[in-house]
Structures are given as structure tokens and as C-alpha cells.
Amino acid sequence: MDTFEAVRTRRSIRRFQERPVEEEKLHTLLDAVRMSPSWSNRQCWRFIVVKGKNLRERISELSYVESFFSTRGYKVNPAKKGLSEAPVVIVACADPSQSGDIWAQQYYMTDIGIASQTLMLSARALGLGTVFVGVFDEAKLREELGIPGDIRVVGLFPVGYPLEEKKDGPPRKPLSEIVFHEKWG
């Protein structure tokens, strides 16, 4: 699948087949992420690959921050089930000291964002699905996975074969609403 096809057809996948991800595909996915650009090529990201069912279920429990969803009218975190159903969960972490911090702009978030997009598009190109899960109890997750205190947990990615193929994506704004030429507006 070419890059533009992966961009056009990538969808947020929260339900997965009971089928393991082949080690070769997982390696290919992680190697693609490794090639992502980063601030001053510092490569501040670190990834924890979780396959064990009990640990995936624990991560799923820690991904649900009830107060966040209840204050926004949700009853259940829609990604929660996907974290325990997926055969693999990739925990994306970053070391802020290994990235830029210029004029109060912390570039580790940009670095991990770029790597995350690479992960999602590469997963799609390999016939896999994933979704970014960004609501979790970072302190408890850090403790559960033995992550040092100076490392930030930035996102969770359940990875597996989609239970169903999603054809239509959410509507997108036209370019005329999001692109300006020469100056704003």
C-alpha cells in the first residue's frame, strides 16, 4: 500500500480479531517507527511492547479515567475494550531530557507525535489497525510497567487485525477552511 492510500484509508480501530500479530510484522512496524524524524535527531521515544493478556487487561483498566469521560457525557471509554482485546499494546514513552525545550516549547510531544503517526500509518500499510489512546493514569501505568519517573508515558496503541474493515471515515473540512496562503485568513 502506498503512503497516500494508507493516509486516506487509516481509521481508528478499537475492536480486533483473535489473531496474533506476526513477529515479522511487529518488527517491521517498530523499525518504521524508529525511522521517524525527531528534534535534533535525539530520538527521545521509547516503546514498550505488551503481549501478555493479564498485563494488557491491567493497562486497559488504567486507561479509563472515569472523571474525564463522565464530565463530557460519556459512560464508557470506547477504546478501553480494544486495549484488552488487541493482541499487542504498544506503550509510547518519551524522555523529555532527550528532546528540545526552547521558549517553553517541549518538543518531546512533537517527537512522539511524529513517531505515533508513523506507527499508525505503518500499521495500516501492514494490514493492521490501531488507535491512539491518550487518557490513562500515568503514575499507575508507570508503576505497573516499571517506567522511570523522568520518562513520560504519552500514549497507548492497541495493535492487531481489525475485527471489521471501516470504509468511511469521519468528514474532513475542505482545504479552503484550513489552508491560508501568505497570511492568516
| Per-residue 3-state assignment (H helix, E strand, C coil) for 79-139 | CHHHHHHCCEEEEEEECHHHCCEECCEECHHHHHHHHHHHHHHHHHHCCCEECCECCCCHH
Whether 51 is in a domain gets the answer: yes
Considering its fold, how many domains does the chain have in total? 1
Please indicate, yes or no, if residue 169 is contained in any of the structural domains.
no
For the stretch 125-161, pLDDT in tens is 999 999 999 989 999 999 999 999 999 999 999 999 9
Mean pLDDT of the chain: 90
Give the pLDDT score at 106: 85
SS3 assignment, position 50: strand
How many CB atoms neighbour CB 171 within 10 A? 6
184 lies in some domain = no
Cell numbers at residue 32, please?
518504521
pLDDT at 168: 78
DSSP label at 164? S
The Cα–Cα gap between 102 and 108 comes to: 11
Strand partners, 44: none
Q: What is the pTM of this model?
A: 0.90
Residue 72 counted as domain residue: yes
Note whether residue 63 is domain-resident. yes
Residues 6+ away with beta carbon under 8 Å from 8: none
Tens digit of pLDDT for each residue in 41-61? 999 999 999 999 999 999 998
| Residue 52, all three cell numbers | 501478555
The answer to whether position 173 is within a domain reads: no
For residue 81, the model assigns a pLDDT of 66
Identify the CATH number of the domain in which residue 47 sits. Answer: 3.40.109.10
Q: What is the pLDDT of residues 85-131, one digit of tens each?
A: 999 999 999 999 998 877 777 889 999 999 999 999 999 999 999 99
- Assess whether pLDDT exceeds 80 at residue 69: no
Is the per-residue pLDDT at 76 higher than 90? Answer: no
Output the pLDDT for position 80: 59
Whether residue 75 contacts residue 48, with contact meaning beta carbons closer than 8 Å, is answered with no
Residue 79 scores a pLDDT above 60: no
The crossing angle, in degrees rounded to 10, of helices 23-34 and 108-125 is 140
Tell me if 172 sits within 8 A of 7, measured CB to CB: no
> Does residue 176 belong to any structural domain of this protein?
no
- In this predicted model, which residue has the larger pLDDT, 36 or 65? 36
- Domain holding 69, by residue range, is 3-161
State the average pLDDT over residues 73-78: 59
Residue 170 lies in a domain: no
